[in-house]
């Protein structure tokens, strides 16, 4: 980032991406405080290294990669860190949910917890956050084929966890 204007524009874009960063952080952290800490650590690292961001690439993917790397570093240091979605996911809904919908959301949340982390990560990145396959591959540091197979396995396992029968698994889901 050579110019002061470009740096300021990038900083503004980083601020706009905070909600997406919080959503992605929930992939790794179950407590709201841990989500906040991970987002803050990511933003601190990103802003300190903004000059290393390559213009023309997606800032969102770069930030997600920083977050994932920060989390992995944290895990290596503290092996007791819990991984998952928030227990109070129903509180994050933007509309008043019916009782049936809340029960279904809790079923899905519990099923997501039971998925291996790398499968859950793909579902969150691609299905919930709308990332493209190639961006998810860059964020996770794996080939695009691995992203596709993990996503497919995650979808199939989630369906099994939710009790779908094999004949129901052929229809589109998520």
pLDDT digits (tens, 9 = 90+) for 56-110: 888 888 999 999 888 888 777 765 444 455 555 445 445 544 566 666 777 777 8
The tokens describing 140, both together, are: 């996770």
Please say if the pLDDT value at position 166 is more than 60.
Answer: no
Domain boundaries, the chain: 1-83, 97-174
The topology (CATH level 3) of 1-83 is Rna Polymerase Sigma Factor; Chain: A (1.10.1740)
> Is residue 88 within 8 Å of residue 95, measured between CB atoms?
no
Looking from the CA of 86 toward its CB, the CA atoms found within 13 Å total 17
> Is residue 163 within 8 Å of residue 153, measured between CB atoms?
no
pTM assigned to the model: 0.56
> Is 97-174 a CATH 3.40.190.10 domain?
no
The 10s digit of each residue's pLDDT in 130-155 is 888 998 898 888 999 999 999 999 99
pLDDT at residue 31, rounded to an integer: 83
**DSSP 8-class letter at 87:** T
pLDDT at residue 40, rounded to an integer: 94
32 CA to centre of own chain: 15
Q: How far apart are CA 92 and CA 167, in angstroms?
A: 33
The 10s digit of each residue's pLDDT in 23-59 is 888 888 878 898 999 999 999 998 888 888 887 888 8
pLDDT at residue 22, rounded to an integer: 92
């Amino acid at each position: 980032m050579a110019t002061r204007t470009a740096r300021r524009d990038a900083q503004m874009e980083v601020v706009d991406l905070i909600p997406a960063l919080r959503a992605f952080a929930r992939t790794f952290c179950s407590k709201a405080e841990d989500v906040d800490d991970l987002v803050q650590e990511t933003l601190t690292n990103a802003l300190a290294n903004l000059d290393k961001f390559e213009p023309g690439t997606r800032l969102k993917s770069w930030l997600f990669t920083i977050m994932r790397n920060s989390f992995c570093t944290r895990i290596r240091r503290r092996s007791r860190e819990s991984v998952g979605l928030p227990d109070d996911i129903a509180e994050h809904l933007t509309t008043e949910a019916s009782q049936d919908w809340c029960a279904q959301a809790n079923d899905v949340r519990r099923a997501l917890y039971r998925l291996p982390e790398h499968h859950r990560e793909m579902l969150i990145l691609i299905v919930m956050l709308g990332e493209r396959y190639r961006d998810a591959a860059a964020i996770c540091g794996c080939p695009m084929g691995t992203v596709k197979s993990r996503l497919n396995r995650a979808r199939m396992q989630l369906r099994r966890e939710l009790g779908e029968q094999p004949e129901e698994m052929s229809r589109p889901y998520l």
